[in-house]
Amino acid sequence: MAVITKDQVKHVANLARLAITEEEAEHYTEKLASIIEFAEQLNEVDTSGVEPTTHPVPLVNVLREDKPSKGLDRDLMLKNVPEHEDGMVKVPSILG
């Protein structure tokens, strides 16, 4: 069985909010399949009883004093916003 099908690639592209053409779907199916097949060799490793590592150097509960501080200036934050109006970020209509 193929490790990843073209339909799965289309599904994943949609989850990742990427628009891909039929031709691209074929390209990525091939490319992703070769990488996933390569990754399958992890199944050779016995990991029973092994804890997963989420973080290379363990850290627990990094706390700071609960003191408010000033955030960034609004005008400054809008500097890189492609479209804005009256100090607000503008997006296309959400409800069709």
Partner 1 sequence: MTLFNHSAKELQQLLHSKEVSAVELTDEAFRRIGKVDGDVKAFLALNEEQAKARAAELDNTPADQRGPLHGLPVGVKDNIVTEGLETTCASRMLGGFDPIYHATAAKKLDDAGLITVGKVNMDEFAMGGSTETSYYKKTANPWNLDYVPGGSSGGSAAAVAAGEVPFTLGTDTGGSIRQPAAYCGVVGMKPTYGRVSRYGLVAFASSLDQIGPITRTVEDNAFLLSAISGHDPFDSTSFDIDVPDFASALTGDIKGLKIGIASEYLGEGVGEASRNAVKDAIKVLESLGAEVEEVSLPHTKYALPAYYLLSSSEASSNLARFDGIRYGYRAEGIENLEDLYKQTRSEGFGDEVKTRIMLGTFALSSGFYDAYYKKAQKVRTLVRDDFTNAFEKYDVVIGPTSPTPAFKLGEQIDDPLTMYANDILTIPVNLAGVPAISVPCGFDNGLPLGLQIIGRHFDESTVYRVAHAFEQSTDFHKRMPEIREGLEQ
Sites of contact with partner 1 (CB under 8 A): 4, 8-9, 12-13, 15-20, 28, 31-32, 34-36, 38-45, 47, 50-57, 59, 62, 64, 72, 76-77, 79-83, 89, 91-94, 96
Q: How far is the CB of 44 from partner 1 (least distance, A)?
A: 8
Q: Which residues contact 40 (CB under 8 A, 6 or more apart)?
A: 3
Q: Which helix (H) or strand (E) holds 76?
A: helix 74-77
Q: How far is the CB of 74 from partner 1 (least distance, A)?
A: 11
Pick 41 or 87: Cβ nearer partner 1: 41
Distances (CA, A) of 17 to 13, 14, 89: 6, 5, 20
